[in-house]
Amino acid sequence: MKMTVISDTHGNYRRLKSVIEQNTDSNLFIHCGDGLKEAWRLAEENPHLNFVFVKGNCDYQNYTEENMVEVSGHRIFYTHGHNYHVRRSHDGVVKRAKSLQCTIALYGHTHVHETSIVSGIHVMNSGSVDSPREGNCPTYGVIMIDDDSGVSMEIVECGSRQ
């Protein structure tokens, strides 16, 4: 099972479309906010692909700010992160994921990519495909879930082939 995780596209439809086109073998695309408009558009243009998304602090549509999905026996919590003070720490996101009995927590907002395992929770911030910070290249995330090897997370620079 392959999932592509994207966040903080901030209106960059072209870059988001490129990421989707490079990952058409993904079983699920998760957008963690600040790009809801272009995420909806791509979902409508690609009804054969599976998309889920949440609203970020720069999205003005009326939509949920956090959600959960179950994939291959793993509960995944995803949010933009601004309500959990992720600029200081991802502890709030991890705590929320644990309270929902999730094994994976995804967030955005900081525009800085990260993967880690905290208190048994796989944590990913995919960075930003539009406006990365701290000298990083534009990035997105790929999560693989395999019955034998479990969960693996990877940060991919935009433009590189997965």
pLDDT single digits (tens) 67-116? 999 999 999 999 999 999 998 999 999 999 999 999 999 999 999 999 99
**What is the C-alpha separation between 88 and 145, in angstroms, rounded?**
29
Q: Is 39 exposed, middle or buried (0-12, 13-18, 19+ CB in 10 A)?
A: buried
* Residue carrying the six token digits 């800085």: 112
Structure confidence by residue, pLDDT tens digits, 46-68 = 999 999 999 999 999 999 999 99
**pTM > 0.75: yes or no:** yes
Length of the chain, in residues: 162
Q: What is the pLDDT of residue 159?
A: 62
In what helix (H) or strand (E) does residue 115 lie, and over which residues does it extend? strand 114-118
Nearest CA to 113 out of 83, 92, 71, 143 is that of 143
pLDDT band for position 162 (cuts 50, 70, 90)? very low
Determine phi and psi for 4, rounding to 5 degrees: -110, 130
